[in-house]
Chain A
Amino acid sequence: MRRTLLAMLVLAVALAAAAAFAPGWLAFLLAVVMAKSLVVAGLVVMWRAGLISFGQALFYGVGAYGAGMLGMRWGVTDFFLITLVGAATAGVIAWVLGFLVARYRGIFFANLNLAFSMLLFGYMVKSSTFGGTDGLRAPIPTFLGYEPGDATRVGVLLVATTAVVLPLLALLHRFLDSTAGRMTTAIRDNEIRVLYLGGSVRRTIHLLVVVAAVLAGAGGAMVALAIGHIDPDVAYWTTSGEFLFVAVLAGPAHVLAAVLGTSVFEVIRTYANEYAPQFWQLILGTSLVLSMLFLPDGLWSLAGRLRRVRKEAGHV
C-alpha cells in the first residue's frame, strides 16, 4: 500500500509538472490517458473475477453523454460536478442492470453487456435529443468556479483529471485488498467453494459491476470534457473492445497497470495516426496478439520480471 501511494504521488507530481510545462498536445494526451485508464481499471477489476464485458462502452457512453446533456440542457460546466454526475448515473444504471447481469458468467456476461451497450448505441443514433449520429458538443469546463483562459485550459484540465483519477485508483487499490476485493480472485478460481464458505458470489459480482461502471462513467465524462465532442461511437462495441484490449495489455496485477497500459495504447495510437494511419488496426491487432502470446499477465508483469532478473544478478 505504501509503495503504491508513493508511486501515485510521484505520478501526480510528474503530471502536475507536465500540466505546467508540457506543450498543449501532450497535456491533452495525458488527460485523456488518465481519464481512460479509469475505465480500464474498472475492466481489470472485473477481469480479476474472471468476467469480461463487451459492453463497458455503455457506462462510458452514459458518462460522456451525461456531460453533453448537463452542459447543453442545464448549462452546467463544472468539471467535478459533471464527472460526479456521470459516475453516479452510470453507477445507478449498473446497479439496476446488475440484478440481471450478475447471474451471468463467461461469454454470456460479455454478450449481455454487449446487448445493453448496443441498445444505448441504437438509441443515441436515433435520438434527436442526443444529436443522432452527429452527437453533441460537450461544454467548455470550468473548475469550481475558476474559468481558465484558452492558453491554460488544457493544463488545468490535466490537473483536475489527475485529481479525480489518482484518488479513485488509490481507493480501488484499497478495495482490492479488502475481503470483498480479494474475493474477486476466489470467484474466478472457484465459485462453488466461495458459496460453501458462505460468501455471496452474486452480490460480489454485482458490486464489481457497479464499481466498474462508476469508474467508466467518470472516465467517459472526463474524456468528453477533454475532447469537447460526443458521438454515438462512444457506445459502440468497438469502443468496448478497445478498452478490453487495453485491460488485457495492462494486466490485472495492479491498479496502476491500467495507467501504464492506457499510456502505451494512446502513444501507439497517436504515432500510428501520425505516420501510418492505414496500418493503425494492423499495428493494434499485432500488438494485441504479441502481448497475449508473450505477456499473458500483461505489461505490468514486465516490471516483476525485471525485478527478478535484477535480484538474480545481485546474487551472482
Chain B
Amino acid sequence: MSDREPILETRGLRKQFGAVVAAAELDVTFHRGETVGIIGANGAGKTTFVNLVTGYQKPDGGTIRFLGRDITGQGPRHVTKAGLCRSFQIPQVFGSMSVADNLLMAVGIAEIGWLTAGSPLEQPRRRALVEELLATYRMEPYAGHRADLLPQGVRKLLDIAMATARKPALLMLDEPTSGISAVEKYGLMDIIMAALRAQQVTIHFIEHDMEIVGRYAERVLAFAAGDVIADGPPARVLHDPRVQELVIGRHEAARGVLNHAAPPAESGS
C-alpha cells in the first residue's frame, strides 16, 4: 500500500474548450505506490486530465506539483524527464521500425545527453535492456516485426513498454485495454501490472471496463463533466449511486447498443 508520500497534486486545475468544461477546479492528491483507476463516461475529462498533467495541453489555471516540484505549464519533454511518463489510448510507436528497434530507440532517447547524442545508439548493454523488456512484456515473438503491422494488443504493450524505458516514478496509462477483445484484457493487464509493480512504478490508468477497475485498482477516481464526483476505494466508488448513474449506467447502456450492432466482437464475454 501507499506510504502516503504525495507524488502528484493538482490544485484548482482548470481547462475549458469553448463552452465545454474539461477540468473544473480539480484538487486531487495522489500518493506514491497507489494504483489508481480513473473512470468516467466519454467526454468526462479523463484524457484531458492526463493531457494536462503530462503537458500535452496547457491548463487555463491551477497548479500541478509532481514529486514536490511545480510542473505547471511544462511541455511533455520536461514532464517526462521529471519522471512522469504516459502511454496512449491510440498507441504512439515508431511505425516503420521493428519492435526491438522501437525499444532500443526508447532506451537510447531516455539516456540521451549532450555528450552521448553522438555516440552509436547500438550498444550491447542497450540490446540487453531491450531483450529484458521484450521478455517482461512477452513480446519476443514479435521482436522483428514492424510496429505498424502489429496486432492491437501487442502494439499497446509496446507503447507501454516504451513509456517505461525511462524508469518513471509515475506512469499514466490512457485506456490500456481499449480496442482489445474482452478475452485478452485480463492477460494484458496481468502482464502490465506485474511488470510495473516489479519496477515499483506508481500507476494511474484510465479504464472503461468496471471489472478491470475493480480487480486492479486500489483507489478509483470517477470523472463527470470535468469534475471528480467520487474518489475512494473501488468497492465504495463503484457502488456510489451518482457514479452508477453518471458513469456506469451510461457506459453499460452504450455497451449494450454496441453489442447489438456487432455481436461477434465481444461474444466471448
Asked if A and B form a direct contact in the complex, defined as CB atoms under 8 angstroms apart, the reply is: yes
Q: Is B118 within 8 A of A197, CB to CB? A: no
Tally of A-B Cβ pairs under 8 angstroms: 86
Stretch at the interface among B101-109, B228-236, B245-253: B101-109
> Do A183 and B105 contact each other (CB < 8 Å), given the known contacts A175-B118, A190-B92?
yes
Q: Is A197 within 8 A of B95, CB to CB? A: no
> Do A194 and B109 contact each other (CB < 8 Å), given the known contacts A185-B94, A185-B96?
yes
Q: Is A199 within 8 A of B122, CB to CB? A: no
Stretch at the interface among B6-14, B61-69, B74-82, B191-199: B74-82
User: Is A134 part of the binding interface, using a Cβ–Cβ cutoff of 8 Å?
Assistant: no
Q: How large is the interface on A (under 10, 10 to 19, 20 to 34, 35 or more residues)?
A: 20 to 34
Q: Is A183 within 8 A of B109, CB to CB? A: yes
Q: Is B80 within 8 A of A198, CB to CB? A: yes
User: Is B121 part of the binding interface, using a Cβ–Cβ cutoff of 8 Å?
Assistant: yes
Measured between alpha carbons, how far is A199 from B122 in the docked complex, in Å?
Answer: 17
> Do A179 and B92 contact each other (CB < 8 Å), given the known contacts A195-B75, A196-B80, A197-B166?
no
User: Is A126 part of the binding interface, using a Cβ–Cβ cutoff of 8 Å?
Assistant: no
Could you say which residues of chain A place their CB within 8 Å of the CB of B122? Answer: 177
Could you say which residues of chain A place their CB within 8 Å of the CB of B81? Answer: 198
Q: Is A179 within 8 A of B94, CB to CB? A: no
Interface of A is mostly: helix
CB-CB contacts below 8 Å: B33-91 with A: 54, 75-77, 80-81, 85-86, 88
User: Is A289 part of the binding interface, using a Cβ–Cβ cutoff of 8 Å?
Assistant: no
Q: How far is the CB of B94 from chain A (nearest CB, A)?
A: 4
Q: Is A186 within 8 A of B117, CB to CB? A: no
Measured between alpha carbons, how far is A177 from B110 in the docked complex, in Å?
Answer: 16
Q: Is B85 within 8 A of A179, CB to CB? A: no
Measured between alpha carbons, how far is A196 from B94 in the docked complex, in Å?
Answer: 12
Residue of B nearest to A202 (CB): B77
Q: Which of A177, A193, A196, A198 contacts B120 (CB 8 A)?
A: A177
User: Is B93 part of the binding interface, using a Cβ–Cβ cutoff of 8 Å?
Assistant: yes
Q: Is B112 within 8 A of A179, CB to CB? A: yes
Q: Is A179 within 8 A of B116, CB to CB? A: yes
Q: Is A193 within 8 A of B94, CB to CB? A: yes
Interface size on B, residues (CB 8 A): 33
Could you say which residues of chain B place their CB within 8 Å of the CB of A200? Answer: 77
User: Is A18 part of the binding interface, using a Cβ–Cβ cutoff of 8 Å?
Assistant: no
Measured between alpha carbons, how far is A180 from B120 in the docked complex, in Å?
Answer: 9
CB-CB contacts below 8 Å: A156-214 with B: 174-175, 177-183, 185-186, 188-190, 192-200
Residue of B nearest to A197 (CB): B109
Residue of A nearest to B80 (CB): A198
Could you say which residues of chain B place their CB within 8 Å of the CB of A190? Answer: 92-95
Q: How far is the CB of B102 from chain A (nearest CB, A)?
A: 9
Measured between alpha carbons, how far is A107 from B152 in the docked complex, in Å?
Answer: 31
Could you say which residues of chain A place their CB within 8 Å of the CB of B86? Answer: 196
Residue of A nearest to B94 (CB): A189
> Do A180 and B97 contact each other (CB < 8 Å), given the known contacts A193-B162, A195-B75, A199-B112?
no
Could you say which residues of chain A place their CB within 8 Å of the CB of B118? Answer: 175, 178-180
User: Is B163 part of the binding interface, using a Cβ–Cβ cutoff of 8 Å?
Assistant: yes
> Do A178 and B119 contact each other (CB < 8 Å), given the known contacts A185-B96, A190-B92, A196-B163?
yes
Q: Which residues of A contact B (CB under 8 A)?
A: 174-175, 177-183, 185-186, 188-190, 192-200
In the assembled complex, 29 residue pairs joining A and B whose CB atoms fall closer than 8 Å, in A order, are A174-B120, A177-B120, A177-B121, A178-B117, A178-B118, A178-B120, A179-B116, A179-B119, A179-B120, A180-B118, A182-B105, A182-B108, A182-B121, A183-B105, A183-B108, A186-B109, A190-B94, A192-B76, A192-B92, A193-B92, A193-B93, A196-B76, A197-B105, A197-B106, A197-B110, A197-B162, A198-B80, A198-B112, A199-B112
